[in-house]
Amino acid sequence: MSGPPPKTCITCGRGIAPSEVYYRFTLVLEGEQDVLDTPRAGSGTDELTALLKQLEASPESSQAMEEQVHWERAGVVCAACRTVVMRTLAPPTEPAGPH
């Protein structure tokens, strides 16, 4: 009788034996903006046309642009990597400076 196949930690790449504890995660980052620039009176269509031309001329792929707005990953991490992820996502104990 065979057990479940071993899992692989998405962070460090180490194999996780079926008898080891692992942590399943799903992470979604979604871009948001609370206030949009207010278009000048009568220029809304012109600004939209200029923005569309700028996007079409961009060297970035449509997938890269989409990932700036919506990025999603899921997987499993080992116990050691869980500690690193938890530390990274924990609120800072003191105010952080600018990035």
Render pLDDT for 65-78 as a digit per residue (tens, 0 to 9).
Answer: 888 889 999 999 99
* Cα–Cα distance list, 27 to 5, 17, 37, 46 (Å): 24, 24, 29, 37
Please provide the size of the chain in residues: 99
Q: What is the pLDDT of residue 65?
A: 81
Structure tokens at 78: 């080992």
Instruction: Give the closest residue to 89 by CA, choosing from 43, 40, 47, 27.
Output: 27
**pLDDT digit string, tens, across residues 82-94:** 999 999 889 888 7
Rounded CA-CA distance 51/88 in Å is 35
User: How close are the terminal C-alpha atoms of the chain, in Å?
Assistant: 53
Q: What is the pLDDT of residue 91?
A: 87
**pLDDT digit string, tens, across residues 6-41:** 899 999 999 999 999 999 999 999 998 887 666 666
- The answer, yes or no, to whether residue 43 has pLDDT greater than 70, is no
